Amino acid sequence: MKIGFTFPLDYSGISTYARHLITELATYPDIELHLYTLLRRKKQLSEAFEHSTRFYYRNALPHDLMLGKHLEVVTKLIQDCIWLSESFKVDLIHHTNPLSMPQWVRNTVVTVHDVFPLYMKALPGIKETIERKQKAIFEESRLIFVPSEFVKKDISTRLSVPKEKMCVTYEAASSNFKRIEPDWNLLKKYDLKPETPFFFHIGRSDYRKNLERMVDAYFALPKNLKQQVSFVVAVNGDKTELYRAIAQGSARGEGGSVKVITDIPFEDLLNLYNAALGFMFVSIAEGFGIPLLEAMQCGCPVITSTETSLPEIAGDAALLANPYDTAAIANAMRQLIESPELREDLRKKGFERAKQFSWKKMAEETLNGYKRAMQS
């Protein structure tokens, strides 16, 4: 079986998904993997994976702006023609990012991680791109992989896509996230000490991550609890609204500390998960939510959202709070602070819940999807 792949050369969630999927599929002896990238990016792409005789690197695609902004539409037409030509060389082409979907190609499958940009605030241009490629993504593809039952239902309801055309393949956390004894010497750089417990959050600066409400909830805690527990936020992107929320909370004059950090290395992230009193992931909307499982595998109790896919992924292994209700979020934080028994219960349940997800299982389900798509 010959499968072509698009692979984003960045550190996004889509890249994490694609890297793990391709790595697992490379262990199957009857699969040949063709990885497509932009012109002159072959070396960079090959460095993302360990060498395998079943990998074929194809730097065949022109950059969107190869002919300049004014001729971008011409470049995209060239890209579509290249995809059409390449499609005859493989059994299927799997677009791990729907924004890369070409027109005309009939042996494609695609992963749609969510369709929130169609009805929620998103980065400029994403909604328009999805709408422009909607026919290619949802009609011309043979099969649509989605990361949760929620996304499957959301697409079916909003876009009238038949549920039988979609295949749920749950994602997972890397096995590198595990329980360790926190290295407090390493965490000194963040002014963290064993005697000062803290909540932790990691994510990008995005409306859907709901970070400002989580900060508001922290500052809504009773004064004595804020003085005992801090909140560490690891975030990349525009922090204007975050700093506004911190300033408003600090203006109450009741204490509390929110530490903002960026670009943390993996070793630091692993130690933060293991050292934290609890992990905050009370998003407004998520298609899956890999950080939930990362925290659970590290034995960190989780507070998450009642919305979208998050209850489906968390099961009974997390405290759930309405992401639009600051008081509800604060109440969940207070429960976690005041009850060591609750923290231990969630820690044990989190370990067991995380075991139900694996990249190997996801790859097996994806392979079954390929076979189904090839028969259609």
Complete domains list, the chain, with CATH: 2-172+359-375 (3.40.50.2000), 184-354 (3.40.50.2000)
Contact predicate 211/205, CB 8 Å: yes
Q: Can you tell me the mean pLDDT for 216-238?
A: 95
Q: Can you tell me the mean pLDDT for 301-307?
A: 98
Q: Can you tell me the mean pLDDT for 119-140?
A: 89
Mean pLDDT of the chain: 91
Q: Can you tell me the mean pLDDT for 189-198?
A: 94
- Binned at pLDDT 50, 70 and 90, residue 136 comes out as very high
For position 346, what pLDDT does the model report? 98
Residue 157, pLDDT above cutoff 80 = yes
For position 77, what pLDDT does the model report? 83
Residue 83, pLDDT above cutoff 90 = no
Work out the angle between the directed axes of helices 326-338 and 211-219 (0-180°, nearest 10).
60
- Binned at pLDDT 50, 70 and 90, residue 13 comes out as confident
Q: H-type helices in the chain, by residue range?
A: 13-25, 42-46, 72-87, 126-132, 134-135, 149-159, 184-187, 211-219, 223-228, 240-250, 266-275, 290-297, 310-314, 326-338, 340-354, 359-375
- Binned at pLDDT 50, 70 and 90, residue 52 comes out as low
**Which tops the pLDDT comparison, 60 or 280?**
280
| Distance, CA of 95 to CA of 144 (rounded, Å) | 10
- Binned at pLDDT 50, 70 and 90, residue 93 comes out as very high
Q: Can you tell me the mean pLDDT for 191-216?
A: 95
- Binned at pLDDT 50, 70 and 90, residue 49 comes out as confident
Please report, rounded to a whole number, the percentage of residues in the chain having pLDDT higher than 70. Answer: 91
Q: Which of 45-49, 56-60, 244-248 is the most confident on average? A: 244-248
The pairing of beta strand 55-61 with beta strand 198-204: unpaired
- Binned at pLDDT 50, 70 and 90, residue 95 comes out as very high
Residue 53, pLDDT above cutoff 60 = no
**Which tops the pLDDT comparison, 40 or 352?**
352
Q: Can you tell me the mean pLDDT for 1-13?
A: 80
For position 330, what pLDDT does the model report? 98
Q: How many CA within 13 A on the CB side of residue 206? A: 18
Work out the end-to-end distance of the chain between its first and last CA atoms, rounded to an integer number of angstroms: 15
Contact predicate 318/333, CB 8 Å: no
Query: For 47-56, 82-91, 100-109, which range has the lowest pLDDT when averaged over its residues?
Result: 47-56
| Distance, CA of 314 to CA of 303 (rounded, Å) | 9
For position 15, what pLDDT does the model report? 84
For position 376, what pLDDT does the model report? 76
Residue 69, pLDDT above cutoff 70 = no
Residue 121, pLDDT above cutoff 90 = no
| Distance, CA of 232 to CA of 280 (rounded, Å) | 10
Dihedral-angle region of residue 201 (phi above 0 means left; psi in -120 to 50 means alpha; beta otherwise): beta
